[in-house]
Structure 1
Amino acid sequence: MGVLFDYFIATDDGAAAAIIDRDGGPGSLPTVVDAGFDPLVQATTLEELLTGQAYDDISDQIGWGRVVASREGGERTVVVVSSGLVDALASADDTTLAAAMVPWVRTEEFWGAADPDELLQVVRDLAALAQEAKRTNQTVYCWTCV
């Protein structure tokens, strides 16, 4: 059984929470489907690599990992993505994103099973989503489904 991580943008927590009961998740909203990494540990490690800020400092910030909706004992959740990661992704150029991939996939959370080139394309898509969120004054969320 796998875990799906769909990153999407929505106008507010209420709109994001409303997708929790939709079959297939965010669906019609701007989405990066099945990104392959979680919005907490792995995303925070990416933020650490992109910003140079320490992991513990990022995860200690107010609102980090805030769940806006949860069902079935946490088997489906919607979590707010760190604004620091959104800012870093929205402002990063392709060289910066590419430089972060190899050290990122070498972290223990990827279990040696991630391809940096494949992950780079996902991160590029997520960066475009972050740019759209900033441009339209929306928030990035992650829908997780076990």
Structure 2
Amino acid sequence: MVEWECLLAGGSFEELVEVGEPRIVAGQYGDGCFVFAMSPRLTTALADAGHFRLSDVAASWAQLRAEDAEVIDTEIAHGIVGDLAALVSSARRQNQSVYCWVA
């Protein structure tokens, strides 16, 4: 989520932490599972981004992950980012929030 927000809306990891993002809404410290609330800034950026912007972000995200030796196929990255944007748009239409569970 932090990488997506930095890529879509700008800023840095340090700036996000400084403003309390991403906000942890549930966490199990023994097993490392956490649930984060997606920030309003990220949900707005995802919902407002067009197809070409999402494609650019997906390619940049795949490249960032590759720099950390985590290979994500660009096509898969496009699918993830595109599906996430669709989920956020749907949630906003229903006046709902979006959360990210990390294990």
TM-score (norm 2): 0.82
Return the match for 1:124 from 79, 82, 97.
82
Tell me, yes or no, if structure 1 residue 73 matches structure 2 residue 30: yes
In structure 1, give the amino acid aligned to 2:47: A
Tell me, yes or no, if structure 1 residue 60 matches structure 2 residue 18: yes
TM-score (norm 1): 0.60
In structure 1, give the amino acid aligned to 2:100: C
- Please tell me the root mean square deviation across aligned C-alpha atoms, in Å: 2.0
Gaps of 5+ in 1: 1-42
Return the match for 1:136 from 91, 94, 97.
94
Dislocated runs of 4+, deviation >3 Å: none
Alpha-carbon distance in structure 2 between the residues aligned to 1:54 and 1:143: 21
CA contact (8 A) 1:106 1:112 kept: no
Q: Which has a greater percent of helix?
A: 2
Gaps of 5+ in 2: none
CA contact (8 A) 1:133 1:140 kept: yes
Larger relative contact order (Cα-Cα within 8 Å, sequence gap ≥ 6): 1
Return the match for 2:62 from 78, 101, 105.
105
Alpha-carbon distance in structure 1 between the residues aligned to 2:5 and 2:93: 20
Aligned to 2:39: 82
Give the C-alpha shift of residue 95 in structure 1: 0.4
Alpha-carbon distance in structure 1 between the residues aligned to 2:102 and 2:63: 23
Give the C-alpha shift of residue 74 in structure 1: 4.2
Alpha-carbon distance in structure 2 between the residues aligned to 1:94 and 1:110: 26
Mapping of residues 1-80 of structure 1, within 5 Å: 43-62=1-20, 64-71=21-28, 73-80=30-37
